């Protein structure tokens, strides 16, 4: 019998007989590991615990409590769900199914009526039955022809079979008389899945292409322990409470009125205060870093966007042009770059001016698809913290790194930590979506990657995520609900300078072509406020909080004057303070200040009037502290000056 050689995570290498299973390998290491093992991972691919191995390689033993172990559990639960669906519904077809870090899903298609949310509880019961029977799950191999016969009439399965055929054969899971295409690894029997929950039903395009038919997707999750499921459900609930739309409503930050228009938010005074604070901060910051802030019109002649290429490549995201009746067509701008190009082009530029940094809080309009709109995260009118630097070829690297450094500085001020870099390239399969110049694309993409590598930063690479005019470095964050979104972005652009025939006069007295770097640091005001609301859970750091101080007199009659005096003094210092004059009990007013997440609540009564002091209660704390008025003013000013930093 031939021998297989396996390398373990600790780099030790052991020999086993051909046909050994992951389970037996685990047992050979220790009895306890043998018990805990649920699957193996050979060269990064999950394999069933009982599957005979015929190839050596790097091996890992997967235990039930690991992330991979959870995937195996969920993959098993997905198979049980599929079997339950197949039992309960006739003529149902299956699309893809997948297990990931959040749970698992199964796609189905049923010609007449789709599976609805109401049927989830019945499906759960059917799954319970299958689990109770503790049916063994076997892996069987069928020839492609047999496999296709098995799924006769299910075009999706037929497609998947073709994708999964290796050497003319396809692996299937077999549970009783139910068979389903095998990918990844599953547990040995249905009884090993105990804790699961069917969560929701949603639509999903077959193979993720919007030109394909839409299938019904059932989302669900599974865990080893009830406690873990409970914790997960609690986390989902907490995420909902953190959702900027929920907090935005509670704290009266913004609203959207369908009568006026979807995706066109109204900023209430509280939200407007937060936004104004951010705007002032970022404009000051950029000016200090050599940016020249400008204002440019949100409307422009359509010809501008024909020249820029937006009309050709970006039209479906643009509002239809306004026909002015005299041959003039006006367009609401979807991006600010052409506007800033006009600023650049207004003078003859010298190499001495480069890098020329033009910035604006630029309002733009994009006709987002109705289904994509979401609170302040996805809107149709937005104001971008936009900036374009015009550089000479040999300045790209340095300017790129400068921008990145500035970005990190800004992130620190807002205490933003949870993000990752993504290099976004064009889709090589679908180049007609982009400006057509292979050489430019390759050059720009290589330059971006080179700059990131030189800084030694971690990033992921993603094809098909570029802007139509160039590749990007995107900073990806997650919303409360776990959806990924782009916050900041730096984009390299050789195209627009070409299209608008931009020049600068070089040291040699000749004309040269500049390169543009598009960059957004704090995203759009809409998305950024949404993001901050979620990471702070509505408890904005003092510098951003719409109401920074609430003063509560113990008795309106006796202490109202003192409260007003403090209030005036704080307002003189530009601190957002107010006195609660409502004729309510103190406890009520304090509760109100706390539920509105106001950073500082000051209670003033006889003691404070006599001692020229204040009783300070900070948001979220039960303790109060008596401080001199001067001491408090000093403290809050320091607090505001420190932004959101958490050092």
Partner RNA sequence: GCCGUUUUAGCUCAGAAGGUAGAGCAUUUCCAUGGUAAGGAAAAGGUCCCGGGUUCAAAUCCCGGAAACGGCUCCA
Touching RNA, residues 583-622 (CB under 7 A): 583-588, 590-591, 594-595, 601, 603-608, 615, 617, 620, 622
What are the backbone angles phi and psi of residue 74, rounded to the nearest 5°? Answer: -70, -35
Q: How far is the CB of 16 from RNA (least distance, A)?
A: 40
Residue list 16-45, contact with RNA (CB under 7 A): none
Annotated ligand binding at 337? The verdict is yes
C-beta closer to RNA: residue 109 or 183: 109
- Strand segments, DSSP code E, in 56-103 are 57-63, 93-99
User: Which residue, 214 or 300, is less far from RNA as judged by CB?
Assistant: 214
With CA atoms as reference, report the closest residue to 538 among 595, 479, 477, 481. Answer: 595
Footprint (CB under 7 A) of RNA, residues 181-210? 200-205, 208-210
Please enumerate in sequence order all residues whose Cβ is within 8 A of that of 451, keeping only pairs 6 or more positions apart, or say none.
Answer: 396, 397, 400, 401, 404
**Sites for RNA among residues 508-527 (CB under 7 A):** 520, 523-524, 526-527
Using CB under 7 A, which residues numbered 106 to 145 contact RNA?
Answer: 114, 116-117
Shortest Å distance, C-beta 613 to RNA = 9
**Which is closer to RNA, CB of 228 or CB of 381?**
381
Residue 467 lies near RNA (rule: CB under 7 A): yes
State the Cα torsion 309-312-314-320 to the nearest 10°.
Answer: 110
Which one, 315 or 574, has the nearer CB to RNA?
A: 315
Q: How far is the CB of 218 from RNA (least distance, A)?
A: 10
629-641 and 556-572 helices, crossing angle to 10°: 40
The residue among 372 and 641 lying less far from RNA, judged by its C-beta, is: 372
Half-sphere exposure of residue 175: CA atoms within 13 angstroms, side-chain side: 27
Contacts (CB under 7 A) with RNA, residues 321-350: none
Question: CB of residue 170 vs RNA: minimum separation in angstroms?
Answer: 25
Select the residue interacting with RNA from 44, 258, 327, 456 (CB under 7 A).
Answer: 258
Nearest residue (CB) to RNA, 58 versus 236: 236
CB of 518 to RNA, least distance (A): 9
340 annotated ligand binder: no
Residue 549 interacts with RNA (CB under 7 A): yes or no: no
Closest listed residue to residue 519, CA positions, set 347, 373, 389: 389
**Least distance to RNA from the beta carbon of 607, Å?**
4
Contact status: 90 vs RNA (CB under 7 A): no
**510 versus 585: smaller Cβ distance to RNA:** 585
Contact 115, 89 (CB under 8 A): yes
The strands making up 214-223's β-sheet, listed across from edge to edge, are 93-99, 104-109, 214-223, 195-205
Touching RNA, residues 287-326 (CB under 7 A): 317
Alpha helices in 314-395 (DSSP H): 337-345
Find out whether 59 and 6 touch, Cβ atoms under 8 Å: yes
483: three-class secondary structure by DSSP: coil
- Which parts of 354-383 interact with RNA (CB under 7 A)? 366, 368-375, 377-380, 382
Specify the residue, 271 or 375, whose C-beta has the smaller distance to RNA.
375
Residue numbers 436-465 binding RNA by CB under 7 A: 464-465
Nearer to RNA, 193 or 335 (CB): 335
Report the nearest approach of RNA to the CB of residue 383 (Å). 9
Cβ atoms of residues 537 and 579 within 8 Å: no
Phi then psi dihedrals of residue 582, to 5 deg: -70, 145
Residue numbers 218-257 binding RNA by CB under 7 A: 219, 243, 245, 249, 256
Residue 361: name the closest of 434, 306, 296, 413 by CA.
Answer: 296
Comparing CA positions, the residue from 458, 462, 422, 466 lying closest to residue 440 is 466
Site string for RNA, 484-513 (x = CB under 7 A): xxxx-x------------------------
User: How many residues interact with RNA (rule CB under 7 A)?
Assistant: 83
**At 257, phi and psi to the nearest 5?**
-110, 115
- Asked if 518 contacts 388 with a C-beta cutoff of 8 angstroms, the reply is yes
Cβ proximity of 517 and 362 under 8 Å: no
Annotated binding site for Zn(2+): 337, 388, 518
């Amino acid at each position: 019998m031939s021998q297989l050689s396996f390398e373990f995570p600790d780099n030790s290498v052991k020999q086993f007989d051909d046909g050994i299973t992951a389970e037996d390998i685990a047992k050979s290491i220790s009895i306890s590991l043998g018990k805990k093992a649920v699957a193996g991972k050979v060269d990064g691919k999950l394999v069933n615990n009982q599957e005979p191995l015929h190839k050596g390689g790097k091996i890992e033993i997967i235990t039930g409590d690991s992330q991979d172990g959870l995937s195996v559990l969920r993959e098993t639960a997905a198979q049980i769900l599929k079997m339950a669906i197949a039992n309960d519904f006739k003529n149902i077809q299956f699309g893809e199914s997948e297990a990931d870090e959040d749970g698992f899903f199964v796609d189905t298609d049923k010609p007449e009526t789709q599976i609805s949310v109401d049927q989830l509880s019945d499906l759960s019961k059917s799954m319970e039955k299958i689990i109770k029977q503790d049916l063994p799950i076997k892996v069987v191999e069928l020839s492609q022809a047999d496999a296709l016969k098995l799924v006769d009439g299910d075009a999706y399965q037929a497609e998947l079979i073709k994708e999964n055929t290796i050497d003319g054969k396809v692996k299937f899971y077999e549970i009783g008389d139910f068979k389903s295409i095998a990918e990844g690894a599953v547990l040995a029997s249905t009884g090993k899945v105990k804790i699961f929950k069917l969560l929701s039903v949603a639509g999903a395009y077959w193979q993720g292409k919007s030109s394909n038919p839409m299938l019904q997707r059932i989302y669900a999750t599974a865990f080893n322990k009830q406690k873990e499921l409970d914790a997960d459900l609690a986390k989902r609930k907490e995420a909902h409470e953190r959702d900027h739309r929920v907090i935005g409503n509670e704290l009266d930050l913004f609203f959207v009125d369908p009568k006026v228009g979807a995706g066109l938010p109204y900023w209430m005074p509280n939200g407007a205060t937060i936004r104004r604070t951010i705007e002032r901060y970022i404009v000051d910051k950029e000016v200090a870093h050599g940016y020249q802030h400008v204002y440019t019109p949100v409307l422009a002649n359509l010809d501008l966007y024909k020249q820029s290429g937006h009309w050709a490549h970006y039209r479906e995201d643009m509002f239809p042009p306004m026909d002015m009746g005299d041959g003039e067509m006006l367009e609401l701008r979807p991006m600010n770059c052409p506007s800033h190009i006009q600023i650049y082009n207004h003078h003859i530029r010298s190499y001495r001016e480069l890098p020329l940094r033009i910035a604006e809080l630029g309002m733009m309009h994009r006709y987002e698809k109705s289904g994509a709109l979401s609170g302040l995260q996805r809107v149709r009118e937005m104001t971008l913290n936009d900036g374009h630097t015009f550089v000479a070829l040999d300045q790209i690297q340095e300017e790129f790194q400068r921008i990145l450094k500035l970005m990190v500085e800004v992130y620190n001020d807002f205490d933003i930590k949870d993000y990752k870099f993504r290099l976004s390239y064009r889709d090589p399969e679908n180049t007609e979506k982009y400006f057509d110049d292979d050489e430019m694309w390759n050059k720009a993409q290589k330059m971006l990657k080179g700059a990131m590598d030189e800084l030694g930063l971690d990033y992921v690479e993603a094809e098909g995520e570029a802007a139509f005019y160039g590749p990007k470095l995107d900073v990806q964050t997650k919303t409360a609900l776990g959806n990924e979104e782009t916050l900041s972005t730096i984009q390299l652009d050789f195209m627009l300078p070409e299209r608008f025939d931009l020049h600068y006069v070089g040291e040699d007295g000749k004309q040269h072509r500049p390169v543009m770097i598009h960059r957004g640091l704090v995203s759009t005001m809409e998305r950024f406020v949404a993001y901050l609301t979620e990471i702070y859970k509505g408890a904005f750091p003092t510098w951003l909080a719409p109401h920074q101080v609430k003063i509560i007199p113990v008795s309106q009659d006796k202490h109202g004057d003192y409260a007003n005096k403090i209030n005036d003094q704080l307002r003189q210092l530009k601190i957002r303070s107010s006195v609660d004059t409502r004729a309510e009990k103190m406890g009520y007013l304090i509760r109100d200040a706390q539920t509105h997440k106001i950073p500082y609540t000051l209670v003033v009564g006889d003691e404070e009037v006599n001692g020229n002091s204040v009783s300070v209660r900070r948001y979220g704390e039960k303790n109060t502290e008596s401080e001199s008025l001067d001491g408090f003013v000093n403290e809050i000013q320091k607090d505001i000056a420190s932004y959101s930093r958490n050092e």
